[in-house]
């Protein structure tokens, strides 16, 4: 009979998906910040 | 540059769908391993993440060489992006391995060759960012980072072959002829494993692409280039 490791499996996949989600979120936020900086720079150049 | 290319949007959707498909395949299609139980299923993503991480580190080294040869800064952005994405995959491999080890080895961590070399590899690539942050000029930063990325590549084969070179309790997934410690897979398991490897490679390319765009935009903002 296989060992009862269902909780460990759920924890394992949660950690994998969680890290990926956090990294994607960090990429999105950093890109938005850079985009904001770029548009500010463009506005200053036009002014 | 700022606007997201349509191809990247399509690639994002494709990546998300293949990742969800692989997860469903692993959870509902692959058999439960007879001794370890359901936690064995973490193995498919654990090995795939380790593979993607190592691939990214090798790419970072190659991009470092590309920079030293051509002195074009886009190679530095490639190297930087590959190292960062590789670190994320390395972290996934380490943490998912620890979660698997707890019920199977009865401990979260053992200082055996594979785990030790993986930890060293991860720490060395973390140091890459410390090095970068200590250098002011983009050219000097790119040059020294490229040298660091090339030298650091040595940790990749060391980590990969550690379970073949030293005595270890870590399972060997790919063993020609099947050694004593070889992890035997049913054809169904092998198919799911190969699919996971493919999906994580797609995920690596997708995340790398996003990180590269960020590196490029960051450089343009810092230097005032359009």
Cα separation, B206 vs B49, in Å, equals 14
Which A-chain residues 1-47 have CB contacts (< 8 A) with chain B? 2-6, 8-9, 11-13, 15-16, 19-20, 23-24, 27, 30-31, 34-35, 37-38, 41
- In the prediction, which pLDDT does B163 show? 86
Mean pLDDT of the B128-146 span: 95
pLDDT on residue B157: 96
Average pLDDT, chain B: 92
Check residue A47 and give its pLDDT: 72
In this prediction, residue B171 carries a pLDDT of 79
Helix (H, G, I), strand (E, B) or coil at A26: helix
pLDDT band for B224, please (50, 70, 90 cuts). confident
The pLDDT score that the predictor gives to residue B184 is: 74
The pLDDT tens digits of the residues spanning B163-196 come to 888 877 887 766 555 455 456 788 899 999 999 9
Residue % of chain B over a pLDDT of 70: 94
Identify which of B42, B88, B103 has the shortest CB distance to residue A3: B103
Q: Please write the tens of the pLDDT for every residue from B6-16.
A: 999 999 999 99
- Answer whether A13 sits within 8 Å of B23, measured CB to CB: yes
Instruction: Name which of A8, A30, A34 is nearest B99 (Cβ-Cβ).
Output: A8
Choose the closest CB to A12 out of B35, B42, B88. B42
What value of ipTM does the predicted structure carry?
Answer: 0.92
**What is the pLDDT, as a whole number, of residue B222?**
86
Q: Does residue B123 surpass a pLDDT of 70?
A: yes
Q: Nearest to residue B163, comparing CAs of B174, B151, B152?
A: B174
Is residue B226 scored above 70 in pLDDT?
Answer: no
pLDDT tens, B55-70?
999 999 999 999 999 9
| Stretch A9-38: mean pLDDT | 96
Residues of A in contact with B36 (CB under 8 A): 2-3, 5
- For every residue of chain B, which 3-state class applies, written as one string? CCCCCHHHHHHHHHHHHHHHHHHHHHHHCCCCECCCEHHHHHHHHHHHHHHHHHHHHHHHHHHHHHHHHHCCHHHHHHHHHHHHHHHHHHHHHHHHHHHHHHHHHCCCCCCCHHHHHHHHHHHHHHHHHHHHHCCCCHHHHHHHHHHHHHHHCCHHHHHHHHHHHCCCCCCECCCCCCCCCECCCCHHHHHHHHHHHHHHHHHHHHHHHHHHHHHHHHHHHHHCCC
Taking CB atoms and an 8 Å limit, are B37 and A37 in contact across chains?
no
Q: Which of A6, A12, A35 sits opposite B100 (nearest CB)?
A: A12
> What are B's interface residues with A at a Cβ cutoff of 8 A?
2, 23, 27, 32-42, 45-46, 49, 88, 91-92, 95-96, 99-100, 102-104, 203, 207, 210-211, 213-214, 217-218, 220-221, 224
pLDDT 10s digits, B195-209: 999 999 999 999 999
CB pairs under 8 A between A and B: 92
DSSP character at residue A1: -
């Amino acid at each position: 009979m296989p060992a009862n490791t269902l909780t460990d499996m759920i924890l394992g996949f949660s950690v994998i998906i969680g890290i990926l989600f956090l990294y994607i979120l960090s990429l999105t936020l950093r890109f938005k910040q850079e985009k904001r900086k770029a548009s500010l720079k463009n506005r200053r150049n036009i002014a | 540059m700022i606007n997201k290319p349509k191809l990247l949007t399509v690639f994002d959707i494709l990546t998300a769908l293949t990742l969800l498909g692989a997860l469903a395949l692993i959870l509902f299609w692959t058999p439960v391993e007879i001794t370890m139980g359901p936690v064995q299923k973490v193995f498919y993503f654990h090995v795939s993440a380790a593979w993607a991480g190592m691939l990214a580190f090798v790419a970072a080294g190659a991009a470092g060489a590309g920079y030293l040869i051509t002195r074009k800064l886009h190679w530095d952005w490639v190297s930087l992006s590959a190292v960062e994405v590789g670190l994320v995959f390395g972290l996934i491999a380490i943490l998912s391995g620890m979660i698997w080890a707890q019920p199977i080895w009865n401990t979260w961590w053992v200082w055996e060759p594979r785990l030790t070399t993986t930890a060293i590899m991860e720490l060395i690539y973390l140091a890459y960012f410390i090095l970068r942050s200590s250098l002011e000029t983009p050219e000097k930063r790119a040059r020294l980072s490229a040298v660091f990325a090339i030298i650091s590549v040595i940790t990749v084969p060391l980590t990969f072959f550690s379970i073949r070179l030293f005595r270890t309790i870590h399972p060997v997934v790919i063993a020609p002829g099947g050694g004593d410690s070889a992890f035997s897979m049913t054809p169904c398991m092998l198919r799911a494993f190969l699919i996971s490897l493919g999906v994580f490679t797609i995920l690596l390319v997708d995340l790398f692409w996003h990180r590269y765009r960020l590196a490029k935009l960051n450089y343009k903002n810092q230097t005032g280039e359009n």
